[in-house]
Structure 1
Amino acid sequence: MSKVRVDRVLHYINGQFVEGVSGKRFENMNPFNNQVLNEVAEGFKEDIDLAVQAARKAFDQGPWGKMSVTDRLKYILKIADLIETYSEELSYLESLDTGLPISQTKKMAARAAENFRFYAEMVKSRMVGEAYQVDGDFINYTIHKPIGVAGLITPWNAPFMLETWKVAPALATGNTVVLKPAEWSPLTANKLAEIIHEAGLPEGVFNVVHGFGETAGASLVAHPNVRLISFTGETTTGSEIIKNSADTLKKISMELGGKSPAIVFADADLESALDAVVWGIFSFNGERCTANSRLFLQKPIYDTFVEALKERVSNIVVGDPMDESTEVGPLIHKKHWQNVMNYIDIARAECAEVFSGSIPDAYRAGNYVAPTLLLNCHNQMRVAQEEIFGPVMAVIPFDTEEEVLQMANDVRYGLAAYVWTSDIKRGHRLAQAIESGMVWINSQNTRDLRIPFGGTKHSGIGREGGHYSFEFYTETQVIHVAIENHHIPKFGKTKK
């Protein structure tokens, strides 16, 4: 794999790569060794304003707003093709920037291309209106119209794939975009701008402003000409965005944190359940919002399942993210590493048994956290209630279905859940009773682009994915047509 060097990352505004108005830059760090990777242009209110102006002009006056759906979707498909062309480079940049193992980022690049192809097809076949006939007098029908400038704020975990989850439907439905990627992972957002530039989209249709949430992100949220905000990230930040977007009455979509339960009953296929829960918490370095960070084991299988977990954890390959054999790499940033390590200290203070794999001495300079089990936990511990967002799983015993349901729901989050049982009636019963946006029965987290994605409670507001994205990225307009002359009240007409 050729190693691409990116010394400097610039904003992409109105079809050009530009420095920020202030000329300030910030350092982007390599999570593998905590050395500086490159410098990134730092955006502020002035840069956001330029990007929004460009996006608004492209929507109102440029060819994008007047373009036929067929021609617009040609651009969307070209972006997909170019993502595949550059998939090797994208995989390398994603691993370099985030510490995610290259074997996992390769799959993400392929899925990112599929996001664009999927929405090209969805807009063509499923973005349809409805008609309502009123006797012989009226036809009332609905259409989907793009809203305008879409503000997209994306996270640092699996950033490229998650950026394309938002950019693809936003562009395919006819909006223009200002993307504010996470400051800890700018490289693949920069490459996406290069790809879209190569695809030849009209100036201003797609823009990227790098920077920090408190400045660039807050300015995007507050901007009066941004009509919607889609955010994926941490719950506290999401709450602030909701508050700050209220004055301008923006549409919002929030995909926030999670503390998702995996529930394994004694009658489950234990080998498959073991495979799933290990993959579910330790893939993506544990930095996954839908990770099964709470594992509930029915007491008859607790001891044997924990022993099997310990063996798996001991065998997980921790290493260089560029090595194809690596299963767990370094966490994204030193600050995040410190936060995760602090939770492991909290677990010890709460009297959990901490069982960890090992980190080779050669990787001590990086942000490595060994895959970790927190054993003999109870559901009220902080480590069972708060999102850790690392390769750390709290393991909790239970007796009955009623007990585990109460514990599964006794948390502020409600994003995902996993149920393992051979009693399919119990599987359905429990899945429907769990307070979460998504539940998998006898399965790991498999993504179907047709389904809605999102959570309940503190895990988010709204749904994106499939045709549900049309509800967010478009405005439904109703048009009433009189097809016969009908009586209109003669209000105020002078009587003769």
Structure 2
Amino acid sequence: MKNIAAKVIPFKNEKVITYTKDSKEYKDLMAEYKKLKEEFLEVPLIIGGEKVFTGNTQDMVIPHDNKKVIGKYHLASKEDAEKAIEKAIEARKAWAKLDWDDRVSIFLRAAALAAGPWRNKLNAATMLSQSKTYKQAEIDSAAELVDFLKSNASLLSQIYATQPLNTDTTWNRQSFRPLEGFIFAVTPFNFTSICLNLPTAPAMAGNVVLWKPSSSAVYSNYIVYQMLEEAGLPKGVINFLPGRSGEIGEPILTNEHLAGIHFTGSTDTFQTMFKTVGENIKNYKTFPRLVGETGGKNFVIAHKTADIKLLVRALRDGAFEYQGQKCSAASRAYIPKSMWEDVKEALFEDMKKVKVGSVEEFDTFMGAVIDQSAYNSITDYIKYAKDSADAEIIYGGNYSDEKGFFIDPTIILTKDPHFKTMEEEIFGPVLTVYLYDDDKYEEVLKLADETSPYGLTGSIFAECRYAINKATDMLEDAAGNFYINVRPTGAVVGQQPFGGARLSGTNDKAGAINNMYRWVSPRVVKEEFIK
């Protein structure tokens, strides 16, 4: 053991590059994008640090150019999952005992690689496989990805530096062990940074991990894994397992060595995993830690004193950035009747700047939705609204999957506050607006609170401080991330720790010390000097 005491590692957010069309940074990024687009990537499993080609493969296509196949990935079987568990448990023997600074240095090196020589490749892969614009990719797969690595290192150093009180005759000290077993990290398609954070946060704390990436983001996630390998990640610490949940989920979730789940995805999936753990609770060597961020039906509420310009920008960006495929995206809005005509006029004018198309074009605001399944689900909601007597589509509503999975930004106006698109998560570029009488502000706050089973994000727009205070009080349980006069999206690591309660998850706050505490198990040692 090294003679070293934990000292807090300082953290500051990674600077986001502001691209211009003629800048060297943008030209270099697009050169990398075109290079990746013309290559064919074959993605194996990584088990115990070794590549495994199962022969059971799935094509990877570009969402905004859905006839273009850019690679294929191999799918894990039940036997592969069992082998990965075996290799992870074997790797734990050395990894869990490694000095904390040696572990953390690997991920700090990964942060340096992501901020520097790997930046364009990470961003280009995210643009290509997840249809993010250069702007959205830079925020996600560069800045936020680096932030997670550096912030978690800083938070972990704070945890290790936390020690109990001593007396004149007693010396107390505390160590923070990794969990005994393995962590199952199940990652989403929409944020490359989250895909990195879910396996690496537990690993940084000394845990070993089985990482199941989303089938729609295997491409960029494999690039992330390759970067971690270059940073010096030892074999078996994180095992990369693309595969179908029905095939590999059962042997992983029922294994006696399951120590935790780090999950971002649908509420239904997390509930199923929770249920499986409950049914097998007597089989485990330890009680598994369940950490999940799930669905949302995020609101924007305007008071009659709201600044219309701020409100309109929040509705546009909050609902339609990255095609509305953010857990935090604005999906329902409550607007006073007295200001609706002014809001609508300004909103429609602002929406003219929203260009839908290929992310290869510099001025594109919205790319394509992620895949055919998402396209079908979202357009079904639009069709439902078109056929309903209780709603009308007042903006957009068009879509086509001929060249890519493109859906125009769609705004629905409804007379029913419990209309289907006001209550159900859509996860696409659809915003539903309900108009209320100005004197029913408190009633609409109560309505917004009780309408959705979720509790992820929400925004209130008002100039009146009493109105803001009332909303903050009445909506206390409605959003884990609550915003005042700003859109309900765009949480920054270290500034707005992210997560919600109710059916939006366990609210362990990604990018905060709350989350890192979930991956350690304290051990207190008391030594008495006088008998």
Give the conservation status (yes or no) of the 8 Å contact 1:127–1:470: no
Q: Give CA-to-partner distance per residue, 1:281-339, whole Å, 9 cap, x none.
A: 10011101111101111221122112222222343111102222111111101111010
**Is 1:317 aligned with 2:355?**
yes
What is the rounded CA distance, in whole Å, between the counterparts of 2:516 and 2:136 in structure 1? Answer: 29
What is the rounded CA distance, in whole Å, between the counterparts of 2:207 and 2:378 in structure 1? Answer: 38
Corresponding residue of 1:454 = 499
Gaps of 5+ in 2: 1-30
Corresponding residue of 1:491 = none
Corresponding residue of 2:519 = 473
What is the rounded CA distance, in whole Å, between the counterparts of 1:320 and 1:153 in structure 2? Answer: 29
Moved more, 175-184 or 123-132: 123-132
Q: Aligned partner of 2:504: which letter?
A: S
How does 1:147-226 map onto structure 2 within 5 Å? 147=179, 148-158=181-191, 160-226=192-258
What is the rounded CA distance, in whole Å, between the counterparts of 2:172 and 2:99 in structure 1? Answer: 24
Moved more, 330-339 or 93-102: 93-102
Q: Give CA-to-partner distance per residue, 1:233-269, whole Å, 9 cap, x none.
A: 1111111011112214411011010001111112122
Corresponding residue of 1:488 = none
How far residue 428 of structure 1 moved from its aligned partner, in angstroms, is 3.4
Corresponding residue of 2:137 = 105
Of residues 369, 374, 384, the one that matches 1:346 is 384
Give the conservation status (yes or no) of the 8 Å contact 1:193–1:207: no
Give the conservation status (yes or no) of the 8 Å contact 1:43–1:211: yes
Superposition RMSD in Å: 2.1
**Is 1:73 aligned with 2:107?**
no
Corresponding residue of 1:489 = none
Flag the 1:360–1:42 CA change in 2: closer, same or farther, 3 A: closer
Q: Give CA-to-partner distance per residue, 1:162-209, whole Å, 9 cap, x none.
A: 112323322221212211000111011111111111112221112110
**Is 1:287 aligned with 2:329?**
no
Identity rate of aligned residues, in percent?
25
Aligned residue for 1:257, secondary structure, equals: coil
Moved more, 112-121 or 304-313: 304-313
How far residue 360 of structure 1 moved from its aligned partner, in angstroms, is 9.6
How far residue 366 of structure 1 moved from its aligned partner, in angstroms, is 1.0
Of residues 421, 445, 462, the one that matches 1:421 is 462
Give the conservation status (yes or no) of the 8 Å contact 2:304–2:336: yes
Q: Give CA-to-partner distance per residue, 1:435-481, whole Å, 9 cap, x none.
A: 22110111233423235422121111241331111221111333344
Give the conservation status (yes or no) of the 8 Å contact 1:261–1:295: yes
What is the rounded CA distance, in whole Å, between the counterparts of 1:463 and 1:125 in structure 2? Answer: 17
Flag the 1:204–1:303 CA change in 2: closer, same or farther, 3 A: same
How far residue 29 of structure 1 moved from its aligned partner, in angstroms, is 2.6
Aligned residue for 1:131, secondary structure, equals: coil
Of residues 41, 44, 58, the one that matches 1:7 is 41
Q: Give CA-to-partner distance per residue, 1:376-434, whole Å, 9 cap, x none.
A: 34321111100010000010112333112112112111111111111234323312321
Give the conservation status (yes or no) of the 8 Å contact 2:491–2:497: no
Give the conservation status (yes or no) of the 8 Å contact 1:115–1:168: no
What is the rounded CA distance, in whole Å, between the counterparts of 1:446 and 1:107 in structure 2? Answer: 9
Of residues 52, 59, 70, the one that matches 1:18 is 52
Q: Aligned partner of 2:154: which letter?
A: E
Corresponding residue of 1:27 = 59
How does 1:222-237 map onto structure 2 within 5 Å? 222-237=254-269
Moved more, 337-346 or 25-34: 25-34
Aligned residue for 1:66, secondary structure, equals: coil
Corresponding residue of 1:441 = 484
Q: Aligned partner of 1:75: which letter?
A: I
What is the rounded CA distance, in whole Å, between the counterparts of 2:264 and 2:73 in structure 1? Answer: 21
- TM-score normalised over the length of structure 2: 0.85
What is the rounded CA distance, in whole Å, between the counterparts of 2:490 and 2:373 in structure 1? Answer: 30
What is the rounded CA distance, in whole Å, between the counterparts of 2:169 and 2:473 in structure 1? Answer: 44
Q: Give CA-to-partner distance per residue, 1:42-98, whole Å, 9 cap, x none.
A: 1122111222222211112x2x22221222221111111222221111111112111
How does 1:332-371 map onto structure 2 within 5 Å? 332-350=370-388, 351-357=390-396, 364-371=402-409
Moved more, 203-212 or 422-431: 422-431
What is the rounded CA distance, in whole Å, between the counterparts of 1:19 and 1:65 in structure 2? Answer: 29
Give the conservation status (yes or no) of the 8 Å contact 2:267–2:295: yes
Flag the 1:151–1:308 CA change in 2: closer, same or farther, 3 A: same
How does 1:240-251 map onto structure 2 within 5 Å? 240-246=272-278, 247=280, 248=284, 249-251=287-289
What is the rounded CA distance, in whole Å, between the counterparts of 1:420 and 1:483 in structure 2? Answer: 61
Give the conservation status (yes or no) of the 8 Å contact 2:301–2:334: yes
What is the rounded CA distance, in whole Å, between the counterparts of 1:380 and 1:480 in structure 2? Answer: 58
Give the conservation status (yes or no) of the 8 Å contact 2:491–2:498: no
Corresponding residue of 1:405 = 445
Give the conservation status (yes or no) of the 8 Å contact 1:314–1:356: no
How far residue 358 of structure 1 moved from its aligned partner, in angstroms, is 7.9
What is the rounded CA distance, in whole Å, between the counterparts of 2:334 and 2:175 in structure 1? Answer: 47
**Is 1:264 aligned with 2:302?**
yes
How far residue 273 of structure 1 moved from its aligned partner, in angstroms, is 1.8
What is the rounded CA distance, in whole Å, between the counterparts of 1:199 and 1:356 in structure 2? Answer: 48
Gaps of 5+ in 1: 486-496
Moved more, 88-97 or 23-32: 23-32
What is the rounded CA distance, in whole Å, between the counterparts of 1:107 and 1:413 in structure 2? Answer: 26
Aligned residue for 1:460, secondary structure, equals: coil
Corresponding residue of 2:126 = 94
Give the conservation status (yes or no) of the 8 Å contact 2:369–2:375: yes
What is the rounded CA distance, in whole Å, between the counterparts of 1:6 and 1:126 in structure 2? Answer: 43
Q: Aligned partner of 2:289: which letter?
A: K
Corresponding residue of 1:131 = 164
Aligned residue for 1:171, secondary structure, equals: helix
